[in-house]
């Protein structure tokens, strides 16, 4: 298929049942919907059938974006933005929305992190339904202690609850990807126990701990916090490796680091 841009992670969904299953994750009628990477409209058309209040499509590919413009120009409630989602300013969104995306696999973790970092996530977004490569999906929802648990699991569970997940065979796409995919339905957490001055500090701290997963946490703790702060942490075995430490502790460490 010569029209497919591999560099933009284009694997188009063709399985009607799977498309419906994804879209049926939430009630769409009279809701504001955002779709990241609508491509050739596989999910888009199914969203429209369910009568959303508004639909915003953000597609980087110029040709696909033009084709969508052409297809939907008569429908006033559909807006198409031809832009890189990583450059899109979410402050422009003024209505509480649901976000869908069969994400381009090469930047899917960056997209998720961008969403997680949005301020007032739970007041502005009710549901987020994303498709990832299975391997990344497993990391996102991983619990501790496990091999998959790490930076992205801790960051995701800081702001998001996982409501549902399901796997999708590579046969459901054109072109067929090499690996299975996974859909995850998230809902932003309403109450966040640990507040950070800057969520980037949580990213920084998890990067430090997980860049060497075999190191016991006490080594990196000493680099980040003074003795007094370390002593204030109770119920933590400092000889553990990061993959055996709960997200809560990384949140606590970030709090102490910022204080």
What residue ranges bind ligand SAM (CB under 6 A)?
8-13, 36-40, 42-43, 58-61, 64, 84-86, 102, 104, 107
Nearer to ligand SAM, 16 or 197 (CB): 16
Answer for the pair 251, 193: CB distance below 8 angstroms, yes or no.
Answer: yes
Nearest-CB residue for ligand SAM: 37
> Each residue of 71-106: b (16+ CB within 10 Å) or e?
ebeeeeebebebeebeebebeebeeebbbbbbbbbe
For residue 97, the minimal CB distance to ligand SAM (Å) is 16
Query: Collapsing DSSP states into helix, strand and coil, what is residue 163?
Result: strand
For residue 20, the minimal CB distance to ligand SAM (Å) is 13
Nearer to ligand SAM, 58 or 152 (CB): 58
For residue 24, the minimal CB distance to ligand SAM (Å) is 15
For residue 152, the minimal CB distance to ligand SAM (Å) is 18
Nearer to ligand SAM, 87 or 191 (CB): 87
Nearer to ligand SAM, 163 or 174 (CB): 174
> Beta partners for 47?
none
**Residue 102 and residue 42: Cα distance in Å, rounded?**
10
Answer for the pair 42, 13: CB distance below 8 angstroms, yes or no.
Answer: yes
């Amino acid at each position: 298929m010569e029209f497919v841009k591999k560099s933009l992670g284009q694997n188009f969904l063709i399985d009607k049942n799977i498309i419906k299953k994804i879209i049926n994750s939430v009630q769409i009628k009279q809701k504001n919907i955002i779709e990241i990477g609508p491509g050739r409209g596989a999910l888009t058309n199914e969203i429209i059938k369910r009568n959303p209040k508004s639909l915003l499509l953000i597609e980087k590919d110029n040709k696909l974006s033009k084709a969508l413009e052409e297809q939907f120009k008569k429908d006033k409630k559909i807006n198409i933005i031809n832009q890189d989602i990583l450059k899109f300013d979410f402050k422009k969104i003024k209505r509480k929305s649901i976000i869908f995306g069969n994400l381009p696999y090469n930047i899917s973790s960056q997209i998720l992190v961008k969403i997680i970092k949005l301020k007032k996530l739970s007041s502005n977004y009710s549901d987020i339904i994303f498709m990832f490569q299975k391997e990344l999906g497993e990391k996102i929802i991983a619990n501790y202690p496990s091999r998959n648990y790490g930076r992205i699991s801790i960051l995701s569970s800081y702001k998001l609850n996982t409501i549902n997940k399901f796997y999708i065979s590579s046969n459901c796409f054109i072109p067929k990807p090499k690996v299975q995919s996974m859909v995850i339905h998230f809902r932003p957490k309403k109450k966040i126990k640990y507040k950070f001055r800057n969520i980037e500090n949580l990213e920084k701290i998890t990067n430090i701990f997980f860049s060497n997963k075999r190191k016991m946490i006490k080594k990196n703790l000493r680099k980040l916090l003074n003795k007094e702060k370390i002593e204030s942490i109770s119920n933590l075995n400092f000889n553990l490796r990061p993959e055996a430490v709960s997200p809560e502790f990384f949140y606590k460490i970030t709090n102490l680091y910022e204080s």
